[in-house]
Structure 1
Amino acid sequence: MTFRDHVLHSAAFPPSGRGSAVRPDDPAGSGLARRSGTLVDRLIHYGLIVFGSVLAAVGLELFLRPNGVATGGIAGASIIAAHLTEMQLSLVLFLFNLPFLLGRKAANRRQALRMLLPVALIALFTHYLHPVPAVSDDPLAAALGGGTFLGIGIGLILRQGNFDELAASAPLRPAFRRFDAGAAIFAANLAILLLAGFVFGANQAIYSIIAHVLAYFMLEAGYTGMSPVKRLRVRSAVLSRLREASERELRVRWTGADDGVTAIVDVYRRDVKPLRELLAALDPDVEIEGVRYDRARRLRPFV
């Protein structure tokens, strides 16, 4: 494999540090190629984390903060707190992330350290960008530029498996009984955006909403990138039968679950429809749903 091919391969199937890379184009029976752990893999992995951190810092320090525009999540709360306390945004960002780092460290120190890297990098780049003048003093341009840079930057970091690892166990320990964590995050983001309107003014609240929505969608774009692979969750009482048939007919990769009736399948986007039809023909009661990035980051809402 040439260096160019290796880079293209890593862009489509990045080494996330969570086991095998996603390669549904492997020949049947060969399984997935595991992360090679080569120097090139590591350089690409950490290079994308650094690049994503730079983009996030640019969005925060050169677009959003100088114009009084805040997204939801920790980023928006940090912008508001930095304005009220007159502290540097970099310090507030790091302090606001400490509870997530310390809360996870006791359970899994390695995952906490994995998250510490992008948090520290974003804070560092934000600190060095603080003296740089804002790119634009127009709040609409700031909302569009800040939301784009912040969303893509965080998405690239999520793609490398450094933020979402921390929240992967969130469904196992829900913090709220009567509604799921997604509703709590929505309420928290709404409160932050309303607070931004109270602190910066009603007009800025509108721009903050624009920035938040744009950052949300750009985060997904940064996370999925140009990957031709789609991930589905399949529930069926005859899961083993579905797995054997799909692996025989299509190029897919299955990941089993403890309950024996639920599994994750990675499949080329062009094969999603044939896979759905095949599974439905074998089991009319099969449940198939797409797995989105926000399912894995419920209690880690940076934006």
Structure 2
Amino acid sequence: MNYLIKLTIIVASSILLGFAFNIFLLPHEVLTGGVTGIAMIFGLLTPLNTGYWIVILNIPIIILGWMKLGKEFIINSIISVAVTSVSMLYIPIEMITDDALLSAVFGGVLTGVGIGLIIRFYSSTGGFDVVGILLIKKWDIPLGGLIFGLNSIVVVISGFFFAWDLALYTMLSIYITGIVIDRIHTRHVKLNLMVVTSRGEEVRQAFLDNLVRGVTIIDGQGAYSREDKKVLYTVITRYELEVIRHVLKDIDPSAFVSISQSMQVMGNFRRD
């Protein structure tokens, strides 16, 4: 059931991408980034529909992802790419506003929501998403900013093939997409977690069972109650915070918990 829900979100988000491309971006020749943007260029310059180009250009990248990111991720990505391509074949390319700026903004927002949800639920839209995910596993940086940097090449290409003002609209759309992705895909955000509890052993075991993080345990004592406590400290991603909430609710609802955002993590921190 969990996988069915995940797959439903991936499919719905992929259809949203096709809608954003055909309704907001393509009618004004405003492109999205990366491989999909290059596919849009080919779709505008050749008789072959953009949906076909997305599939063709993603084949070598999907093979790379299969080798580096695993079977489930790539199967989800293939489904996402296929649904996006098919939706672009059946959703008509129609201009709902004559304002290219509005189209760039709304197209960028919808694209960011679609890509952010797709990546959050362990999939990708192929192309530079796969490259970006591979890179953030090595360097802990915001995915949206990384994709924006990778996608900037599309702006230069579109400037040569189309008008430079449209290239700037493309840059705006890609920038907005990157911001929205970072609001949804928050794995790069690290949190300092400190838990003060009288049930230290149970909490310690639950953390080790549910997280892939090291935990430091400090002996403590309540200043007023003089009761012995355990202080557990670790660093987690924002995605893991929901797991922590459930664990503490089940084991020690009265535990004192302090959470703050970490500026930087050095040392042995698993980034998977």
**Gap runs ≥5 in structure 1:** 1-37, 175-180, 235-241, 278-286, 298-303
Q: Tell me how far apart the structure 1 counterparts of residues 194 and 5 of structure 2 sit (CA, whole Å).
A: 33
Choose which of 166, 178, 181 in structure 2 pairs with 1:216.
178
Query: Would you say 1:45 and 2:6 are equivalent positions?
Result: yes
- Structure 1 residue 201 displacement after superposition: 0.6
SS in 2 for 1:275: strand
Structure 2 Cα separation of the partners of residues 230 and 188 of structure 1: 18
Q: Which residue of 1 aligns with 2:74?
A: 112
Aligned residue in 2 for 1:199: 161
Paired with 1:173 and 1:267, the residues of 2 have a C-alpha distance of: 22
Question: Which of 88, 92, 105 does residue 126 from structure 1 map onto?
Answer: 88
Distance across 2 between alignment mates of 1:231 and 1:205: 31
In structure 2, the CA distance between the partners of 1:44 and 1:247, relative to structure 1 (3 Å rule), is farther
CA contact (8 A) 1:233 1:264 kept: yes
* Counterpart in the other structure of 1:144: 105
Deviations 1:94-130, CA, capped at 9 Å, x for gaps = 122212212233453343212111111111111111x
Contact 2:30 2:166 in 1 (8 A): yes
CA contact (8 A) 1:48 1:156 kept: yes
In 2, Cα distance between equivalents of 1:183 and 1:55: 22
> 2:17 maps to which residue?
56
> Cα–Cα, structure 1 residues 171 and 214, in superposed 2: closer, same or farther, change >3 Å?
closer
One-letter amino acid of the structure 1 residue matched with residue 59 of structure 2: L
- Give ranges in structure 2 of 5+ residues lacking alignment: 217-232, 246-256, 266-270
Which of 239, 253, 275 aligns to 2:258? It is 275
Distance in 2 (alpha carbons) for counterparts of 1:98 and 1:290: 36
Contact 2:191–2:262 (CA under 8 A) maintained in structure 1:
yes
Matching residue within 247, 262, 267 for 1:288: 262
What's 1:264 paired with? 236
Q: Secondary structure at the match of 1:264?
A: strand
Which is further off, 91-100 or 115-124? 91-100
Whether the aligned pair in 2 keeps the contact of 1:152 and 1:223 (CA below 8 Å) is no
- Give the greater-gyration-radius structure (CA): 2
Among 56, 64, 68, the alignment partner of 1:95 is: 56
> 1:276, 1:288 within 8 Å by CA — same for their partners in 2?
no
2:194·2:234 contact (CA, 8 Å) conserved in 1? no
Cα deviation per residue 1:32-56 (whole Å; 9 max; x = unaligned)?
A: xxxxxx3xx3442222112101111
Cα distance in 2, alignment partners of residues 247 and 218 from structure 1:
41
Code of the residue aligned with 1:116 in structure 2: it is I
Query: How far apart are the structure 2 equivalents of 1:58 and 1:73?
Result: 18
Percent identity of paired positions between Structure 1 and Structure 2? 23
Cα pair 2:7 2:76 within 8 Å, conserved: no
Q: Is the 8 A contact 1:72 1:190 kept in 2?
A: yes
Deviations 1:225-271 (A, max 9, x none): xxxx995266xxxxxxx877589699x9673359x998535337xx9
Q: Larger relative CO (CA 8 A, sep 6+): 1 or 2? A: 1
Q: Tell me which of 132, 135, 156 is aligned to 2:96.
A: 135
SS at match of 2:262: strand
Q: Given that residues 115 and 163 in structure 1 are in contact (C-alpha distance below 8 angstroms), is that contact kept between their aligned partners in structure 2?
A: yes
Q: Give the superposed CA RMSD.
A: 4.1
Aligned length: 222
For residue 250 of structure 2, what is the aligned residue in structure 1?
none
| 1:116-164 deviation line (CA, Å, top 9, x unaligned) | 11111111111111x3423223211210221122111111111211129
CA 1:158/1:196 → structure 2, altered by over 3 Å: closer, same or farther? same
Secondary structure, aligned partner of 2:31:
coil
Equivalent position amino acid for 1:264 in 2:
I
CA contact (8 A) 1:153 1:222 kept: no
TM-score scaled by length of structure 2: 0.64
Alpha-carbon contact 1:58-1:150 (below 8 Å) kept = no
Deviations 1:180-226 (A, max 9, x none): x99985554222112212222121122112211111122234446xx
TM-score after normalising by structure 1: 0.59
1-side partners of 2:107 and 2:145: how far apart? Answer: 25
User: Partner of 2:43 in structure 1?
Assistant: 82
